Amino acid sequence: MSFIELGLSEAIARAVTEHGYTIPTPIQTQAIPAVLAGGDLLAGAQTGTGKTAGFTLPILHRLSAAAANSATSARPIRALILTPTRELAAQVEESVRTYGKYVKLTSTVIFGGVGINPQIKLLKHGVDILVATPGRLLDHMQQGTVDLSKIEILVLDEADRMLDMGFIKDIRRILAALPKKRQNLLFSATFSDEIKTLADGLLNAPAMIEVARRNSTVEIIAQKIHPVDRDRKHPLLTHLIKTNQWSQVLVFTRTKHGANKLVEQLGKDSITALAIHGNKSQSARTRALAEFKDGSLQVLVATDIAARGIDIDQLPHVVNYDLPNIPEDYVHRIGRTGRAGATGEAVSLVCVDEHEMLKDIEKLIKRTLPKEIIAGFEPDPNARAQPIQLRSGNGNGNGGGRGRPQGRTAVAKSRPAPAAQPHGPAKTFGGNGTSRPSAPRRSGGRGR
- State how far the alpha carbon of 175 is from the alpha carbons of 123, 133, 416, 432, in Å: 19, 13, 33, 47
Nearest to 369 by CA among 224, 179, 178: 224
* Whole-number CA gyration radius for the chain: 22
The C-alpha atoms of residue 79 and residue 60 are separated, in whole angstroms, by 9
Smaller CB distance to ligand AMP: residue 47 or 396?
Answer: 47
Q: Which of residues 133-192 bind ligand AMP (CB under 6 A)?
A: none
Smaller CB distance to ligand AMP: residue 2 or 142?
Answer: 2
Smaller CB distance to ligand AMP: residue 20 or 381?
Answer: 20
CB of 316 to ligand AMP, least distance (A): 14
**Per-position b or e across 109-130, b if 16+ CB within 10 A of its CB:** bbbbbeeeeebbebbeebbbbb
Smaller CB distance to ligand AMP: residue 83 or 421?
Answer: 83
185 in helix, strand or coil?
strand
Verify binding: residue 338, ligand AMP, rule CB under 6 A.
no
Verify binding: residue 47, ligand AMP, rule CB under 6 A.
yes
CB of 368 to ligand AMP, least distance (A): 28
Nearest to 192 by CA among 424, 404, 49, 46: 404
Site string (50-69) toward ligand AMP, x via CB under 6 A? xxxx----------------
Amino acid letter, 260: N
Using the rule CB under 6 A, which residue among 8, 34, 41, 49 binds ligand AMP?
Answer: 49
367: left (phi over 0), alpha (psi -120 to 50) or beta: beta
Residue 202: HSE in the Cβ half-sphere, 13 Å Cα cutoff? 27
Verify binding: residue 21, ligand AMP, rule CB under 6 A.
yes
Q: Which stretch binds ligand AMP (CB under 6 A): 34-42, 44-52, 168-176, 316-324?
A: 44-52
User: With 0-12 CB in 10 A as exposed, 13-18 as middle and 19+ as buried, what is 388?
Assistant: buried
Smaller CB distance to ligand AMP: residue 51 or 391?
Answer: 51
Using the rule CB under 6 A, which residue among 313, 376, 381, 425 binds ligand AMP?
Answer: 313
Smaller CB distance to ligand AMP: residue 48 or 84?
Answer: 48
Amino acid letter, 105: L
CB of 183 to ligand AMP, least distance (A): 19
Residues 6+ apart with CB under 8 A from 357: 323, 324, 325, 327, 388, 429
Verify binding: residue 337, ligand AMP, rule CB under 6 A.
no
CB of 348 to ligand AMP, least distance (A): 22
- Cβ(198)–Cβ(163) below 8 Å: yes
Verify binding: residue 311, ligand AMP, rule CB under 6 A.
yes
Verify binding: residue 214, ligand AMP, rule CB under 6 A.
no
- State how far the alpha carbon of 182 is from the alpha carbons of 74, 107, 155, 175, in Å: 20, 19, 11, 11
What phi and psi, each to the nearest 5 degrees, are found at residue 148?
-105, 15
Verify binding: residue 87, ligand AMP, rule CB under 6 A.
no
What phi and psi, each to the nearest 5 degrees, are found at residue 190?
-135, 160
Site string (346-365) toward ligand AMP, x via CB under 6 A? --------------------
Smaller CB distance to ligand AMP: residue 59 or 352?
Answer: 59
- Cβ(160)–Cβ(188) below 8 Å: yes
Q: How many residues bind ligand AMP (CB under 6 A)?
A: 16
Using the rule CB under 6 A, which residue among 141, 340, 369, 374 binds ligand AMP?
Answer: 340
Amino acid letter, 97: R
Using the rule CB under 6 A, which residue among 161, 336, 339, 391 binds ligand AMP?
Answer: 339
Using the rule CB under 6 A, which residue among 6, 8, 24, 398 binds ligand AMP?
Answer: 24
Q: Which stretch binds ligand AMP (CB under 6 A): 21-29, 222-230, 391-399, 435-443?
A: 21-29
121 in helix, strand or coil?
helix
Verify binding: residue 30, ligand AMP, rule CB under 6 A.
no
The kind and range of the H/E element at 346 are: strand 344-350
Verify binding: residue 278, ligand AMP, rule CB under 6 A.
no
CB of 253 to ligand AMP, least distance (A): 23
Smaller CB distance to ligand AMP: residue 340 or 412?
Answer: 340
Q: Which stretch binds ligand AMP (CB under 6 A): 17-25, 77-85, 244-252, 318-326?
A: 17-25
From the centroid of its chain, how far is CA 170? 19
Between strands 299-302 and 221-227, the pairing is: unpaired
What is residue 262's DSSP assignment? H
CB of 56 to ligand AMP, least distance (A): 8
Point out which residues bind ligand AMP (CB under 6 A): 21, 23-25, 28, 47-53, 311, 313, 339-340
